Amino acid sequence: MADSSGVSGTQPPKRAEAILSRLLPERDRGPILGDLAQEYAAIARSHGVEAARSWYWHQLTLSVLPAMRRRLGRRHGRGSKGTLHERNPGSGLGVSWLDVKLGLRMLVKQPALNLVVVCALAIGIPIGLYPDHLVRLLEAPLPVSEGDRIQVLRYYDVENSRAGLPTLDDFAHWRDEMTTFQAIAATTLGNSYNVISDVGGAAPVLGAEVTASMFDILRIGPELGRTLIPADEVASGADVVVIGYDLWQARLAGDPEVVGRVIRVGGVLRTVVGVMPQDFYYPYRDQLWLPLRLGEVTLAQGRQRTHVVFGRLSDGVSAEEAETELVTVAGRTGSGDSESMARLQPQVVGFMTGLIGEDKAGMRANPEFFMMKSLAMLVLIIACGNVGMLIFARTAARTSELAMRTALGASRTRIIAQLFTEALVFAVLAAGIGLGVGDLVVVNSIGALTELMPYWLDVGVTVRTVIWGLSLAVFSAAVVGVVPALKATGKSVHRNIQRAQSGRSGLRFGGVSSVLIAADVAFAVASVGAAVVLSSALTDVEDTMGTLPEQFLSAELIIPPSPVAEDNTPARIAVIQEEVIRRLEAEPGIRGVTMASLLPGMDHRGQRIVLDEEPIGQDVRAHRVAVARVDPAFFGTFEQPILAGRGFDSGDLGEDRSAVIVNAHFVEHVLEGRNPIGRRLRYATRGEEAPGPWYEVVGVVETLGTIITNTDPAMYQAVYHALALGETPSLYLGIHVGDDPESFAPRLRTLTSEVHTAAMISNPVRLSDVVSFTRMGTMIMVLVSGTLIGIMIALSISGTYALMSFTVSERTREIGIRTALGAHRISIGFTVAKRAIAQLAVGILIGMPVAWVFFEETQPSEIPTQSPYLLTVLVGGGLMILIGVLACTAPTLRALRIEPTEALREGV
Amino acid sequence: MGRGDQLAAFEQLVLLALLSLEGDEAYGMNLRRVLRDEAGRDVSVPTVYSALDRLEAKGFVTSRLGQATNERGGRAKKLFRVEPAGVQALQEGRLTLEAMWKLGGLAGPS
């Protein structure tokens, strides 16, 4: 059935069709595209849109080479004899295989220059691709049958631009009343369950509570046994679980009789009713699926329950139609007051969009995405601009060759086509290297964050990415190849040959070169500034822990909610936590145990405080500090003396929790060295919020690690509150084990399970190895940015050097004539250098404010920017001045050595 | 038959596949499907059309435009038909092949 409005999927992908249309000969273009469109529609109906799209792109890749061979075969004529005369290819791409071979041969000439060119494009092309690659990744549907028909139902807060989760009551109503969905399901996210099994003892496993309809929606059947059924969701139903393939193999020894076995999951004995196939980890990396029982306190663990409501659209129904119905149904059944309901807009969105809470319009409508894409393209254009300059300088050296080819009959188009092809060879090679290296970097760095990534996300390079990479390679080749070629072939043959005889190219960069050199210098100065900022993130954070963290085991102790409400009181939780500590302290070899909301070396939460002496009101000056809650044994366990005042004691754990301890950094920077004991502070509030309670400083300790990276030294100043056991069901344990603390982890798990079967030990790791997401993200950013900046600086340097040396070389005859007329060498040298100095000065003057803006935007307000900024200007400016001097010196000295008579003998 | 009129191996397969199709079914994509399913040759659509163009230039097939449909993006189908000259070329090719098989001492194709 014809579709013009866009019931999605009945039309082939427009970009692929457009590429094919360009490649196919006119005679058969219509029938071939028509055949492909017809087949596409048939596949979309039978196997889904995604399968049809993949098939169509596959046809494109199959068709490229034969189509190009046909075009080249028609141009050169089969069986024609070669002559000395160049052929004019006429219309079409103008590319021949001979040009490709010449391009490959150029790769081995001037290897240093070629390496810079390839590296620059290998950086620029993948960066130019990255924003769209990221968006395509996030827009990818689930890898199940007709995955694009699976949509998320949610609320969206239009005022605050954030997604809101529906309640489970909403889910129940929508499930019963919506007709535009075949089925609707709900699943929890981000939960772990303590699984006790024969193999591996007790260990947490990612799992989800799901409604039985989830398996119908995903259309995935079990490997063994069955999936969940509606009867499992009944509150009085048996406690069952469906397990994942990896869990079955690793923790249950792949027992073929596993269906029917009873295992302990989250403290509850559950019967295994099914095993899911390999590579099924819905929704993230889950290996357990428990029935979601509405209205019951379940065994979900984690600090906050989050769940997603999603469904499969009924046949023939669009997402827009489903959303219209949802608005009506939600309007009838919505919970909450009328004001909040007016703000919350019911939406039906794609699965990934719903999962990450992105705006319905998608990332592409996000202004930050536009900025990211603009920056990425700017990087590519800068890379292309510099590479273009280098290739132009090289092209200028080939003037005699180009002049001779023109004399033999080569058209301007033919020569430009060859130069474009040579540039294309570089660009394609660079794109391949860039994508390959980028794939390795991205996959390996993202691999460290695997548990956070949905399993179906393939972050690596895809076929589509490769095709886009090739498109960008063609664009880059056009910029770096065609533009210089147009300039190089713009003169008459006679003048070209004459100039070739005189050893001159006759090419002038003109004002363009000055602009490009100035831009390169400015970019290099700004890049050095960026490098200085980034390097500060790598310096060691300031703390007094020394090597002590290497002896500590850090682990999170999580006590999940119990089905019995009485077991969820703070008193009950405190009993469990206290027993765990008691048993740990009784273990041989354990030197100390403490509990805290965060341990030294972890990224602490930042909050703003005001001091008692400071004015309260609009002019209040708030200080940002790191905050943590620690038990009274904390400082002693970490062997930190109390420098002034006292530590926490049991008296600080009562109803009056007003005592706080600060660190030395706080005293130095917030109190400016004044006596802290007895001083009061409270947390800053926003707007009309009532002010909070005052806290009194009772003690001072050394500066323990409160931040992973050195990007925000304000976070060194810390405030510690006393932590009472039972206050929160999730805390960090700091256990002083001694050598090889990680060897204690299995014992810690066993011991904890003995105290409480549902209690979970998460991520036991040596304290010195604690890696926060901030640190990983920062390290990845530093690595990638540092590489990028290094390449860009190298490119700026080489571009500046090449241009300057070329420009001076072109003035050889002028220098010879002036020498013949009696000009002093120093005077000549100054005249040559004058222009170079002006270009460098302009570049540095432009680069300085850019670097200043960069510092101002990236450095926290507590850090003065003057000294690193001055360092940047000195280093960056000095480096480029040095490069400029080197670039001018050698060709100037060469020119001065030429005999005036030789210079005069050269033709006019 | 001159050398230029002889059929290449792939062209023979295309003609034979075309003979198995009739009327509105005798178009490029269907030919490709027959070649893939019956002869195990998974080629691209442009390759099939390229062979058909050569055959048409040799006078072995003729083409006509069918009806355009919305499903095809408003593009007409190009339908092909084997001409008697094409059938004759196939038969001559088969006879030549049989003769060469006998010459080689192997049992000829049945």
Q: What pLDDT, in 10s, does the model give residues A82-138?
A: 333 334 444 444 556 777 777 777 777 767 777 777 777 887 788 788 788 777 777
Taking the CA of residue B24 and the nearest CA in chain A, the distance in Å comes to: 12
CB contact under 8 A, A37 and B71: yes
Strands (E), A656-805: 659-663, 680-683, 695-701, 718-722, 730-736, 760-766
Q: Whole-angstrom Cα distance, residue A564 to residue A579?
A: 20
Residue A303 has a pLDDT of 30
Asked if A839 contacts A518 with a C-beta cutoff of 8 angstroms, the reply is yes
ipTM of the complex: 0.89
Task: For an interface test with B, give the residue of A35, A36, A46, A60 to mutate (most B CBs within 10 A).
Answer: A35
Asked if B57 contacts A28 with a C-beta cutoff of 8 angstroms, the reply is no
Encoded tokens for A659: 């005592």
Q: Do you find a cis peptide bond into A283, omega within 30 degrees of 0?
A: yes
Is pLDDT above 50 for A502? yes
Q: Whole-angstrom Cα distance, residue A813 to residue A815?
A: 5
pLDDT band at A3 (very low <50, low <70, confident <90, very high): very low
pTM given for the model: 0.60
> What ranges in chain B are assigned the alpha helix state H?
9-19, 28-39, 45-57, 84-103
Of A97, A71, A91, residue with least CA distance to B50:
A71
Q: What pLDDT, in 10s, does the model give residues A672-706?
A: 889 999 999 998 877 777 888 999 999 999 888 66
Of A583 and A887, more confident: A583
Is pLDDT above 70 for B98? yes
CB contact under 8 A, A35 and B72: yes
Q: What is the mean pLDDT of residues A219-240?
A: 91
**Nearest Cβ partner of B72 from A34, A62, A63?**
A34
Q: What pLDDT, in 10s, does the model give residues A543-581?
A: 566 777 889 999 999 998 776 777 788 889 999 999 999
Cβ-based neighbour number of residue A476 at 10 Å? 28
Span of A481-485, A568-572, A635-639 with lowest mean pLDDT: A481-485
The length of chain A, given as a count of residues: 908
Q: What is the mean pLDDT of residues A709-718?
A: 66
Contacts of B70 in chain A (CB under 8 A): 1-3
Of A315 and A776, more confident: A315
Which amino acid appears at position B46 of this protein? P
Residue A117 has a pLDDT of 76
Of A300 and B45, more confident: B45
Mean pLDDT across chain A, nearest whole number? 78
Q: Quick check: A41 contacting B, CB < 8 Å?
A: yes
Q: Whole-angstrom Cα distance, residue A508 to residue A483?
A: 14
Instruction: Collect contacts of B8-15 with beta carbons under 8 A, ≥24 apart.
Output: B10/B41, B10/B51, B11/B51, B11/B54, B11/B55, B11/B60, B12/B90, B12/B93, B13/B39, B13/B41, B14/B48, B14/B51, B14/B52, B14/B55, B15/B55, B15/B60, B15/B61, B15/B82, B15/B86, B15/B89, B15/B90
Residue A298 has a pLDDT of 42
Residue A148 has a pLDDT of 86
Instruction: Name, in order, each residue with C-beta under 8 angstroms of A335's C-beta and a sequence gap of 6 or more.
Output: A167, A169, A170
pLDDT band at A334 (very low <50, low <70, confident <90, very high): low
Q: What is the mean pLDDT of residues B9-16?
A: 93
Q: What pLDDT, in 10s, does the model give residues A14-43?
A: 888 888 888 888 888 899 999 999 999 999
Residue in chain A closest to B25 (alpha carbons) equals A35
Q: What is the mean pLDDT of residues A238-264?
A: 93
Residue in chain A closest to B77 (alpha carbons) equals A31
Of A568 and A795, more confident: A568
**Nearest Cβ partner of B76 from A12, A34, A66?**
A34
Q: What is the mean pLDDT of residues A294-300?
A: 50
Residue A8 has a pLDDT of 45
Residue A216 has a pLDDT of 92
Cβ-based neighbour number of residue A475 at 10 Å? 17
Residue B54 has a pLDDT of 92
Encoded tokens for A339: 């004001």
Is pLDDT above 70 for A773? no
CB contact under 8 A, B75 and A67: no
Q: Whole-angstrom Cα distance, residue A647 to residue A724?
A: 14
pLDDT band at A587 (very low <50, low <70, confident <90, very high): very high
Q: Quick check: A39 contacting B, CB < 8 Å?
A: yes
Residue A86 has a pLDDT of 39
Of B75 and A242, more confident: A242
CB contact under 8 A, B29 and A67: no
Taking the CA of residue A5 and the nearest CA in chain B, the distance in Å comes to: 13
Burial of A846 (0-12, 13-18, 19+ CB in 10 A): middle
Asked if A157 contacts A344 with a C-beta cutoff of 8 angstroms, the reply is yes
Asked if A608 contacts A683 with a C-beta cutoff of 8 angstroms, the reply is yes
Contacts of A24 in chain B (CB under 8 A): 46
